[in-house]
Structure 1
Amino acid sequence: MAARILLGRTASGTSETSFLCGFLGGHNLFALQEGGLPEPKQPTAPGVSKYALGGKTQVISVSVVDEQSYVRLPRRRIVQAVRTALESAGLRRARMTVALIDDQRIRQLNRQFLQEDEPTDVLSFPMGRTGQGGLEGEIVVSAQRAAATAAQYGWKPEDELLLYIIHGALHLAGFDDTTAAKRQRMRRQEALCLERLGVRQPTLPAPHRRPTEPLKSPSATKGRKTPLRRRSERSSDADG
């Protein structure tokens, strides 16, 4: 199976600022607010998983902001994707926000935080740690890009979008794709997460295989220029 290139990157220097505050507070997405991700009184779509591990209650909470009309993805699936990715990386406590937007908005963010004036598929924003020591971060994905890319690869836009979310969550959990070996490891983890979600990736013919494309900025994890292709690490690897 062919590997795909994911452009997803993690924006650096955002631990003190949450651009999604605007979304959650009903303001403009790009009106940045200081102080990190607020605890909304009525989250748009919270998903909280509480369970006992080692005698302590662990919590992974996910809030969803959907501001697009290209892909209809149940919020339950978005929450499942984030939890699956984080738990596969050994994380048991986290507070995440996922925003589904279009190419125009993600292009603005890509230009603002990574100085790249083009749309991308996914951007991850590390926000540091919660008061309980859990991971905190924000994942922004372009549903418009997912809809267009899925058509190229012959699978559902919903599954393409799940892949973007998993990719972004894994970056926040510490995965990166700055070397061929790390890319292969990340691709395997993505495939594992998709499998746990009951998603089978399409087998791609040779013409669809993508060459390895190094990241322009190791500190950033941003969306993909060529759609992220996940399968077959054995034939080629993909960029994240």
Structure 2
Amino acid sequence: MNDTTAFTSEQLNFILQNEIEMPTWPENLNEESLRDIVLRSLQMALEQFENDFKTAEITLRIVDSAEAQQLNHQYRQKDYATNVLTFEYGTDATATLRADIVICAPVVQREASEQDKSLEAHFKHLLVHGTLHALGFDHQNDDEATDMESLEIEILAQFQIKNPYL
């Protein structure tokens, strides 16, 4: 941020849209804990990188495979359900950063199982990843990927989550 004040909880409007029922969903993945992940991601990114927004409105939409596949096809021309998509709308005239993060719960569950990770840790990692995309981070080349992954690892450590890239 341009000034030296920290980004606070009051500056984040977090909207959760859970579109599916997941019978085995961890209790720790509730609205409060998910909001905390987004807030801490914003705070830690802004400690290291300047940005021009004063508030943020982040919508997290948890979807099924069909919706994730449809969105991935429509916006990325890839015909499969992906784990996370971020729609970053930039900063508006009121200096509010706006973004939608879409996470496909069935894909996240499958990946967590295949990678021998806890569902909670993998979901939180993808939420951090999506939040950093909302801030403009990307991983299209090696330098960008290194910067983004390093920040993800640092943020996840704040939540006692191990490096997901090992």
Count of aligned residue pairs for this structure pair: 152
Task: Give the equivalent residue in structure 1 for 2:67.
Answer: 105
1:152 to 105, 111, 114: 114
Question: How do 1:57-96 and structure 2 match up within 5 A?
Answer: 59-70=11-22, 71-72=25-26, 73-90=29-46, 93-96=55-58
Task: Give the equivalent residue in structure 1 for 2:150.
Answer: 188
Give, in whole Å, the separation in 2 of the partners of 1:100 and 1:82: 15
Any stretches of 5+ residues in structure 1 without a counterpart?
Answer: 1-51, 202-229, 233-240
Give, in whole Å, the separation in 2 of the partners of 1:190 and 1:181: 14
Give, in whole Å, the separation in 2 of the partners of 1:61 and 1:198: 25
Q: TM-score, normalised on structure 1?
A: 0.58
Give, in whole Å, the separation in 1 of the partners of 2:55 and 2:86: 18
Q: Which amino acid aligns with 2:165?
A: R
Q: State the percentage of identical aligned residues.
A: 23
Give, in whole Å, the separation in 2 of the partners of 1:146 and 1:77: 17
Question: How do 1:78-227 and structure 2 match up within 5 A?
Answer: 78-90=34-46, 93-201=55-163
Query: What are the Cα deviations for residues 69-119 of structure 1, in whole angstroms up to 9, with x where unaligned?
Result: 333421111101111111111165211100111111100111111111111
Contact 2:121 2:161 in 1 (8 A): yes
Q: TM-score, normalised on structure 2?
A: 0.82
Structure possessing the higher relative contact order (Cα contacts under 8 Å, 6 or more residues apart): 1
Cα deviation for residue 127 of structure 1 reads 2.0
Contact 1:94 1:130 in 2 (8 A): no
Contact 1:67 1:101 in 2 (8 A): yes
Quick check: which one's helix share is greater? 2
